[in-house]
Amino acid sequence: MRFMITAARATDDAKHDAQAAEDAPPDEELFAAYMKYNEDMQKAGVLVASEGLNPAGARARVGISGGKRVLLDGPFAESKELVGGFYLIEVGSKEEAIAWALRCPVGLGSAEVLTIHQMTELSDIPPRFREILAEVAPTWSVSFSRAQ
């Protein structure tokens, strides 16, 4: 089972906190603790990917208008929750994903709240839709099947 764990900072003043995080270098000891956590997951064979999101980096919001994708205003730093990154892990159960999340260090601004999301598996897709998938996206279909 694959799970995405998103790391976000829940705050009433996300804009202020994002600016403060952007201006202040991370504490070396805390940074090392997070990297050790990544290393532990890698060595355990559960880490598929782990990335941080640059709080000052390029961003955009795309929504729907008239049945088509359109560029929206934002994203706004004033949001109540600022996502700072993610971990993609492959484990045997939701409980194992929770156990890994509970081991995550505390204190790196954008990682105060971890949310665990189960990823779609091939077995979640009805057989007829798997046939369509193989027909219209054969290359991606093979990579999706291998990831399972």
- Answer yes or no: pTM beyond 0.75: yes
Q: What pLDDT sits at residue 90?
A: 96
73: left (phi over 0), alpha (psi -120 to 50) or beta: beta
Architecture of the domain made up of 2-119: 2-Layer Sandwich (3.30)
State pLDDT tens for residues 59-91: 888 889 999 999 987 766 555 566 788 999 999
State pLDDT tens for residues 99-143: 999 999 887 665 578 999 999 988 899 999 999 999 999 998 888
Sheet holding 113-118, edge to edge: 47-52, 81-90, 2-10, 113-118
Tokens of 138: 């054969």
Q: What pLDDT sits at residue 55?
A: 74
Q: What pLDDT sits at residue 54?
A: 80
Q: What pLDDT sits at residue 61?
A: 85
Q: What pLDDT sits at residue 8?
A: 82
